[in-house]
Structure 1
Amino acid sequence: MHRPVDNFSVEAVVMTAVFGVDIGGSGIKGAPVDLARGVLAQERHKVLTPQPSAPEAVVAAVREVVRHFDHQGPVGLTFPGVVVDGHTRTAANVDKGWVGLDAAGLFREALDLPAVVLNDADAAGLAETTHGAGRGQQGVVLVLTFGTGIGSALFADGVLVPNTELGHLELRGKDAERRASSAAKERHGLDWEQWSGRVDEYLDLVEMLFSPQLIVIGGGVSRKHEKFLPLLRERGARVVPAELRNDAGIVGAAMAAARATD
């Protein structure tokens, strides 16, 4: 029986290696994960997200990633949208055919393996608060992933509030991720200083709403954190780069799968 991934406790993990898959708007990547250390057990394998990203095409791409490793155990998968009890409720940056699907059931059938699906930023947050920049931090922690969109994972004293999707907060009359994601940086041809100004606006908004003690910046752009973090204004919350960088989603997905199949 599958259990929800909120209120995650690392003590619930009894296996040392499970497979994680991170489904994004532009790429799908996966690898076996060493759960004891919170690191990839092998170099990840990545394929491009099919365009259009209809369910059948994405499932085929995920199957290719998993079969690349000949994996035969539980699989955790992230999804860029709201996920409740394995069902995908929204699909902002992938095909709308995902809305309302029993995604966990779809992947279990396609892979013929135990599978669990959760929000992509929630997965990254689980990894960062257990093994990365947020470990041991009490109070309110906000993990933000900047990529095709902006994902968010909100924790209060280590407890996850799932599916916050704060990239869709309104900023200057539109979804915040349309202005401040790393994809928006590329789309509008912004330099690091221009983009950091937009990120500052967004951080002002989330800080006003949630008063976090710590903000962890993740996603693909986190590997270039030295180019923009020093440009951000000082604020009440500490702002730090994700330690697991862009592997956090894979690690968090595997953690969720381990707990769900315990």
Structure 2
Amino acid sequence: MKTLKLIFASALFLILGSTAIGQPSAAQVKKDVSKTFPTAVSVEVIGNGETTEEWEGSTKMYYHRRRVKVTTKTSFDKEFPESRAISEGLAVYTKQGGTFVYKKYNPGYEELTGMPPIDIDEINALITKNICKLVINCNSVVAQPVSNWYMTKDSKVTWYSSTSFSFKIDTLVIKRRRNAIYMDVTEGKADIRFYRDNMGDKWDRVLDASGFTRTRDLKAEEYTEEELDNMTYLNQVAQ
């Protein structure tokens, strides 16, 4: 019986181990990814990766994917010496014989760091000008609850290039007049993206429909008709 158990355990080890043989080390992954990014400042390998068995037509393939974070200098580091491009993606390997061979890098999340400060007044003027046309349908929306649409020094900014960035608002409460006595209350979030043609230009465009995303409906609020008529609505204060 012990012999049978030993044989079974050995066979199981061979079956399970067949997909793990030759998985690349972290050092090898760094070396391979550096070929894709020859000017990389650093390559960080995250986790142990995942090996999968996949069919491509009638051919069974084994893939090993390892998460990596790559930091490179930007093409405009002379203008902004602290600027860096951060890319998080997957180093992809295919199994050939008893080892895995580097195939490609699949990009995922990308952003820039070390970018110059943004002129908050310039951005808020652009929001005011575009909020009803591109960011949100302002019709019947009370102005006061969306005062935090505007950018502050604490806003979460993500740079995508020297000509595009966005800032996030985690929680927004929108109050919209439904009829003579009720106002619908909606909670959501926003990620507003801005563009310009060239580095150094003023920001002049907002991505169409980049603004408010509803997450849930809250309890409607009831007012008198006079109270609703006396409220200030967003389309009255936005240009």
Q: TM-score range by the shorter chain?
A: under 0.3
Q: TM-score of the superposition, structure 1-length normalised?
A: 0.22
Greater share of residues in strand: 2
The structure, 1 or 2, with the larger RCO (C-alpha pairs under 8 Å, 6+ apart) is 1
Greater share of residues in helix: 1
